[in-house]
Amino acid sequence: MGDAEPTDEQVVETASDAAEGLIFSRYAQSDVRDLDVTVTFEDGVLDVDVYLDAEEHAAEVADGAARAARDAVDELFESGHEE
């Protein structure tokens, strides 16, 4: 409980899950032609890259997914990564 820092793996998984979760809350899987979520967390720096090929608003949704990933990681650190 509480004060331990999340592992790099937990950070990457949390960010990736949040990005994909946002995308699939907006699109049915069949509407996504291609998706690539790349997350790295090195030396305390989070890098999230989302490529989305879908019929409508793909760039906006990809940007939102990257923001969701960063927000989820912020929450992970604030909560002490309790699950």
- pLDDT score of 78 more than 70: yes
Tens of pLDDT along 5-55?
899 999 999 999 999 999 999 999 999 999 999 999 999 999 999 999 998
* Cα–Cα distance list, 49 to 12, 59, 72, 74, 78 (Å): 12, 12, 15, 17, 23
- C-alpha 83/C-alpha 80 separation (Å) is 9
Do the beta carbons of residue 71 and residue 12 sit within 8 Å? no
pLDDT reported for residue 2: 55
pLDDT reported for residue 34: 97
**Has this prediction a pTM greater than 0.85?**
yes
Specify the CATH superfamily of domain 8-79. Answer: MTH677-like (3.30.300.100)
Do the beta carbons of residue 69 and residue 39 sit within 8 Å? yes
At residue 3 the predicted structure's pLDDT band, cuts being 50, 70 and 90, is: low
